[in-house]
Amino acid sequence: METIMASVEYEGGLRTKATHLRSGNTITTDAPVDNNGKGQAFSPTDLVSAALSSCMMTIMGIVAEREGVNLTGLKSEVVKVMNSTPRKISEIKIHFTHTGLVATEEQKQKLKNAARTCPVALSLSTDLKQTISFDF
């Protein structure tokens, strides 16, 4: 049986509000300034890019827990590259950093492999370039 996980409402002015039904948490989106918006919140394409990083971190966290590695403090910087014709994300660049990560080279490789095979990464079009780098 399918379960509705979110509801989204258009609030006008190129703004939406998404509500996660189980928790009640909300996310507001605005159209970006370069696409007639105010840019006062994440745009939908920003969320896709941030979701990729969050998914990668989550899957790395699962592997880290299994491996006995403390991943707390892992950070990322996310860059979204837009194509103009057609308007779509052409590339997402994510750079992960963790100063002082205590892990073997084998464990680090497992973390990198986990990131690259997270569900969001595998769900995005193969036309979307994912440039992922690690500094740990």
Tell me: the pLDDT tens digits for 91-111? 999 999 999 999 999 999 999
Domain boundaries, the chain: 6-35, 44-135
Q: What percent of the chain has pLDDT over 90?
A: 96
How many alpha carbons lie under 13 Å from residue 27 in its C-beta half-sphere? Answer: 16
**Average pLDDT of every residue of the chain:** 97
Which pLDDT value is given to residue 30? 96
Contact 113, 59 (CB under 8 A): no
Chain length of the chain: 136
Token match 């690259």: residue?
A: 116
Q: Write down the architecture of domain 44-135 according to CATH.
A: 2-Layer Sandwich (3.30)
Phi, psi of 49 (to 5 degrees): -65, -45
- List C-alpha distances in Å: 40 to 18, 79, 83: 15, 18, 21
Which pLDDT value is given to residue 1? 84
Among residues 118, 126, 47, the alpha carbon closest in space to that of 90 is found at 126
- pLDDT class of 22 with cuts at 50, 70, 90: very high
Rounded-to-integer distance, Cα 120 and Cα 22, Å: 21
- pLDDT class of 131 with cuts at 50, 70, 90: very high
Phi, psi of 30 (to 5 degrees): -130, 150
**Mean pLDDT score, 116-124:** 98
Residues pairing with 27 in the sheet: 18
Which pLDDT value is given to residue 63? 98
